[in-house]
Amino acid sequence: MNRFDYVKPASVAEAIAAASAPGAAYLASGTNLLDLMKGNVVRPARLVDISHLTELTRIEHRENGDVRIGALVRNADLACDQSFARDFPAIAEALLSGASAQLRNAATVGGNLLQRTRCAYFYDPASGCNKRTPGAGCDAREGDNHQHAVLGWSEACIATNPSDFCVPLAAFDAVVEIEGPAGRREIALEALHLLPGSTPERETVLDPGEIIVAIRLPAEARAFARHARYLKVRERNSYAFAVVSAAAGLVIENGTISHARLALGGVAAKPWRAREAEALLAGQPAGPSAFQQAAAAALRDARPSGDNAHKIPLARSLIVRALAAAAQGTPSRMPALPASPFSSVPGVHQ
């Protein structure tokens, strides 16, 4: 058994001081961290329990139209906040498509941003994994890799980011608020996660001791509320991570797209913002031809990292379907099977 210290700070400042020690890790609900500890995948020397810090549990609807979400807000509470679900429906749909109801009731939005890859070789201490043990090699390269990355991967690591929540956050320009030993800073969600390169063990830009305190969505993202969807293809229709996913948002004026947002999940080590595709969509009629061009642009640089070439046409098809669903309009009810491309839309009011 790995012995570790347990610290329960009274404030964010105390938490940062405690977590600045080598080998420390923050503990919120622990839905991912505790599994990793039980499997001997990670062995923190100190757990800094922040789960009781009420200052991080608020959803703030600000006068300027921004929404600020504390890092300890539960996934289910955010998805079921009526104002939030109305203004950011694709994000609510993404949250409700992740994990099980029990996990959504426990997991926090800050923890969701920092969850680790679900690559089986990362979870197996007997396997070579550069992310877990730098220099150990990547057994996924010659192993079971049909679910692995097709964008942004390197010879050192082909794992993917498992988050549903992060995909629409990247699409709609979310900002992450961070505090740490050097003070406070803000970064775009799109810049939080790192591609593997030669250092896959470093997954985010966070420095030792830094903590995510909030996520902020700009007022401008509300403009997409009438035409926004999140779709997710998975190996079973619930309680599974995405093979590929797509968040799409459109502003349509007289049948023409004036602004577009598009991001992919399940294809890289970070949520993948498809900016070239967004630019192609602007000024185009909202129809199949424009959607297919955008999908081709989004996957132009994709290449298999193993036995996963199927993910590329699958992702292209899902983009077209997500854009078509967004163009049709955000449903007035949350789909009975959120984010499933096979769901009949009539569901339940959020």
Query: What residues does each domain of the chain span?
Result: 55-114+161-220, 222-328
| Answer CATH for 222-328 from 3.40.50.10860, 2.60.40.420, 3.30.390.50, 1.10.3720.10 | 3.30.390.50
AA letter at 62: R
Q: Which pairs count as long-range contacts for 82-85, CB under 8 Å and 24+ apart, including other chains? A: 82/350, 84/59, 85/334, 85/350
Q: What is the pLDDT along the chain (350 residues), one digit of tens a residue?
A: 789 999 999 999 999 999 999 999 999 999 999 999 999 999 999 999 999 999 999 999 999 999 999 999 999 999 999 999 999 999 999 999 999 999 999 999 999 999 999 999 999 999 999 999 999 999 999 999 999 999 999 999 999 999 999 999 999 999 999 999 999 999 999 999 999 999 999 999 999 999 999 999 999 999 999 999 999 999 988 889 999 999 999 999 999 999 999 999 999 999 999 999 999 999 999 999 999 999 999 999 999 999 999 999 999 999 999 999 999 999 988 888 899 988 876 555 44
Q: Which fold has domain 55-114+161-220?
A: 3.30.465
The secondary structure of residue 263, as a DSSP letter, is: E
- CB–CB of 180/16 below 8 Å? yes
| Tokens standing for residue 246 | 């797509």
Is the dihedral angle over the CA atoms 82, 83, 89, 95 positive or is it negative?
negative
pLDDT at 346: 56
The secondary structure of residue 207, as a DSSP letter, is: P
